[in-house]
Structure 1
Amino acid sequence: MAACLAVMSLAVFINVVLRYGFGSGVAASEELSRLLFVWMVFIGATAAYPLGEHMAFTSLLLPLRRRPRALLAMTLLIRASVLLACVLLAWGAWQQVVVGMESRSVVLGYSNALLPLPALLSALVIGLLALIQIFRGERLDLEHELEME
């Protein structure tokens, strides 16, 4: 993620300096920045999932703390929903990857399949992690409310 952000920032900075300082620019910097931004977002989303860093409304589950069966049922429902969302995202991303294989970006000429590919990979990894959490019976982390200011 840091490498994507560094390259993206450098490309945009150079392009801004060239446009406003010299009246020209690098057309490839926009395509490169867009591609790196998409990859950075999905790498970040994938890295955040196992740490429990995605947005969660744990306050809605706090009343279930003293009812372990209800909390387990809700945990399974949440993880199954994550798994379903990953399947839908992976299916749509795969279709876009297939369509993108036959076209190229305008300036840099990379395959347009590289844009939806991180969504596919992220969905597969997060879905696999959710499936592992279901089989292991891992509990939800309800301690996020302690981190709020």
Structure 2
Amino acid sequence: MKTLIDSYFLVLKTLVIACLVAITCLIFTNVVLRYGFNSGLFFSEEISRLAFVWLVFAGAQLMLHENGHIGVDIVTRRVSPGVARCLLALTQLLMLYVTWLFLDGSWKQTVINLHVGAPSTGISMALFHGAGLVFCILSGLLIFTQLVRNLMGTLPAHTPAEPSAAEHGAVE
């Protein structure tokens, strides 16, 4: 199971890199064509925007998995580990609720825009809004798994690194 999950997140990292490369190549090519040859790629902006949206959602899910988002631990560092686990569970429940709200909105937008084409390429705008749909489903599963592991006590405790001497204002 761990191999499957690691493979999935490796695919996500590859998707992020592919999106970055595609965006860079499309925009660079379009700039060169516009300024050098007075022409351009009519689809460059739409494909770049679509790749950027998928890149953002894939990156957000990677950070969710790696606990890389900004966290405020001013309270949890000052309470007992049991209370910290309860606060983490409360946070995870709130995240599941917000993910549900986002899933509901993404679903509605995807259905509404299913037969709406993008202006220059004609690609269904459901592909644009579907990124949120995919993100919510997969992130909801990830958050739920983390919540269950937290409640069972198998989620490793997140202990922030001790501040260095430089952060305390000491001169080395």
TM-score by length of 2: 0.79
- What RMSD in Å do the two structures reach over aligned CA positions? 1.8
- Distance in 2 (alpha carbons) for counterparts of 1:135 and 1:83: 12
Structure having greater relative contact order (Cα 8 Å, sep ≥ 6) = 1
Letter in 2 for 1:57: V
- Residue 69 (structure 1) shift: 2.6
- Residue 142 (structure 1) shift: 3.2
Which of these residues, 33, 41, 48, is aligned with residue 26 of structure 1? 41
- Is 1:127 the counterpart of 2:140? The answer is yes
Q: For the structure 1 residues 79 and 28, does the alpha-carbon distance in structure 2 shift closer, same or farther, using more than 3 Å as the test?
A: same
- Residue 61 (structure 1) shift: 1.7
- Residue 44 (structure 1) shift: 0.7
1:111-133 Cα deviation digits (max 9, x unpaired): 11011111111111111111111
Q: Give 2:92's aligned residue.
A: 79
Which of these residues, 81, 93, 100, is aligned with residue 68 of structure 1? 81
- Residue 146 (structure 1) shift: 5.4
- Residue 49 (structure 1) shift: 0.8
Equivalenced residue count is: 146
Seq. identity, %: 33
Q: Any unmatched runs of 5+ in structure 1?
A: none
Q: Any unmatched runs of 5+ in structure 2?
A: 1-15, 168-172
Q: For the structure 1 residues 140 and 122, does the alpha-carbon distance in structure 2 shift closer, same or farther, using more than 3 Å as the test?
A: farther
Q: Give 1:15's aligned residue.
A: 30
- Residue 58 (structure 1) shift: 2.0
Q: Give 2:102's aligned residue.
A: 89
SS in 2 for 1:106: coil
- Residue 20 (structure 1) shift: 1.2
- Residue 70 (structure 1) shift: 1.4
- Distance in 1 (alpha carbons) for counterparts of 2:83 and 2:119: 53
- Residue 136 (structure 1) shift: 1.6
Q: Give 1:142's aligned residue.
A: 159
- Distance in 1 (alpha carbons) for counterparts of 2:138 and 2:31: 36
